[in-house]
Structure 1
Amino acid sequence: MNDRTAPQTLRPISGAARCAVASLVLAGAAWTARAVWQIRLAVVGQPSSGPPDQGDGRHRPLTTLENAYHVVSSLGDAATALCAIAFLAWLWRARDNARVLSGRPPRHAWPWLYAGWIVPVANLWIPRGIVADIHRAGAPEERLPHAVNWWWGLWLVGALSGTGLMYTGTTDAVIARVYTEAPLLLTADAAVVGAAVAGVLVVRTLTAAQQRRGSET
């Protein structure tokens, strides 16, 4: 469905909201587990044989704790992907409903629902703008909830810190960084978990506002 075929009545949103909330909770738990394992690795310290990647294509055998971190990291990646899908599904429905409630086309065309998260520079403001527009349509008399700014600020820290959501290095590279840069990694983890918590509040608040406004029209 694109902007030209947007519905003229409110779409059911409670189910999508519940899925988004559940996936945010799951992602927050997964990143908390990742942080716990990073703390355990940092406490134990790097083996005398050095980091997992020895250079020149050589890798030493992983310790039991390092192997466990690989599993935790993979589960965290899966939870994050699931969260992204569920959140975008909710966002799409909320955006369609915002158009019905406001009677105006969205400020950002539908491709930005996806591209806004990955296009450099644009990803610094477009997703927040979409959420803010949804709020204005659902609760035009109310100020933007603080949860939106907390969610977006923490998301930016977690995504753009170079150690969190957008980090593209291997898991072995992360393990090596844990041994030398644990505080930086844990800061990124905390930001991601905080963004997930704030995201739950955002989804619940904006969904409730749309439902109230819909019952009044």
Structure 2
Amino acid sequence: MLASKNGLSPHHPLPGSVPPPASRGLLIAVVAAFAVAALGDLFAVYTGVRLRTVLDGDMTASDLDAAYSLYERAGRVQVVTSLLCAVLFITWFFLMRRRTELLAPNWFRKGPGWAIGAWFVPVANLWLPYRIASDMWNACALLPTEGRSHRLPMWPVNLWWGLFVGTTLLGRFTAARLDMTDSLAGLNDAVTLYLAVDLLYVAVAGAAVVFVVRLAALERLKTAEGPYWTPVQA
């Protein structure tokens, strides 16, 4: 293992440079926002099923208008809950990026500002936030010691980002299809696709909560106990 002149690992910050563990208030707010967003998505699933039932049955014009109006209302609820979730999550993401840099500054390939900016760069926002999340995750990994390696599983990061990107792209395709439809059959097909998208967004919210909670726990552990991993003796 490489060491600097003062005997510290190059991935270990100077003594006293790591602040106390972050407040859990924002973390709780982020988790709650994802839960609310998931409920909004489930409401959209309910209204989508209701609209499909009307489309597939013997409907009247008033039945169709009522079902479609409720479906559009669910869409507006999703917009509000998603915006709330995005604001809280990106705020947490930025603050966590700043904190984890203190634990392992050499891991990061982008400056802290990219933890916000990366989400707003067209096309590049399909992978830049993932790179930042991966850097934060690796920065929270404990360093090997006693000649033994310690690997930190990446599946929470990969699961969350894979679901998020896949669902986002499917959602854009479905929205375009709904905008172009000019028949009840086309509307039925688009609503069916949206049912899958909304259910996937529920899964995205769950995977995001796993990522957020696990990363916060790793950051707290490394802040409190130091950078080195001590194997548990059997």
Give how far 1:149 is off.
1.2
Shift of 1:13: 4.2
The DSSP-based 3-state class of the residue aligned with 1:161 is helix
C-alpha distance in structure 1 between counterparts of 2:116 and 2:50, whole Å: 36
CA distance change for structure 1 residues 169 and 184 in 2, over 3 Å: closer, same or farther?
A: closer
**1:41 and 2:41 are equivalent in the alignment:** no
Name the stretch that deviates more: 155-164 or 201-210.
155-164
Q: In the TM superposition, what is the alpha-carbon distance from 1:168 to its structure 2 partner?
A: 7.6
Tell me the residue number matched to 1:160.
Answer: 169
Answer whether contact 2:98 2:112 (CA < 8 A) is retained.
Answer: no
User: Aligned-pair distance for 1:178?
Assistant: 4.5
The answer to whether 1:121 aligns with 2:123 is yes
Q: Which one of 135, 143, 158 corresponds to residue 152 of structure 2?
A: 143
C-alpha contact 2:100 2:136 (8 A) present in aligned 1: yes
Evaluate the alpha carbon distance shift between residue 67 and residue 106 of structure 1 in structure 2; reply closer, same or farther with a 3 A threshold.
Answer: same
TM-score (norm 2): 0.73
Structure 1 residues 110-149: Cα deviation after superposition (integer angstroms, max 9, x where no partner): 3422332232331221111111111111124432431211
- Number of residue equivalences: 198
Q: Equivalent of 1:81, from 74, 83, 87?
A: 83
User: Which deviates more, 17-26 or 110-119?
Assistant: 110-119
**Structure 1 CA distance, aligned partners of 2:94 and 2:113?**
11
Cα distance per residue 1:162-200 (max 9 Å; x no partner): 448x958999x7x97642323321221122111100000
8 A contact 1:135–1:206 mirrored in 2 = yes
Please give the alpha-carbon distance, in whole angstroms, between the structure 1 residues aligned to 2:154 and 2:139: 13
Distance verdict in 2 for CA 1:90–1:13, change over 3 Å: farther
**Partners of 2:107 and 2:135 within 8 A in 1:** no
The 8 Å contact of residues 95 and 106 in structure 1, kept in 2 or not, is answered as no
**Residue among 14, 17, 22 paired with 1:12:** 22
1:52-82 CA-partner distances (Å, limit 9, x unpaired): xxxxxxxx99722222222222111110000
Alignment of 1:180-191 (within 5 A): 180-191=189-200
**Would you say the 8 A contact 1:28–1:196 is kept in 2?**
yes
Structure 1: any 5+ residue segments left out of the alignment?
1-7, 50-59
Whole-Å Cα distance in 2 between the matches of residues 13 and 107 of structure 1?
A: 26
What SS does the aligned partner of 1:195 have?
A: helix
Spell out, residue by residue over 1:31-70, the C-alpha distance to the aligned partner (whole angstroms, 9 max, x if none). Answer: 1111111111011107576xxxxxxxxxx99722222222
For the 8 Å contact 1:13–1:93, the answer to whether it is kept is no
Larger Rg computed on CA atoms: 2
Asked whether the 8 Å contact 2:18–2:223 carries over to 1, the reply is no
Give the equivalent residue in structure 2 for 1:56.
none
TM-score normalised by length of structure 1: 0.78
AA of the residue aligned to 1:158: T
Q: Give yes or no for contact 2:27–2:92 (8 Å, CA) kept in 1.
A: yes
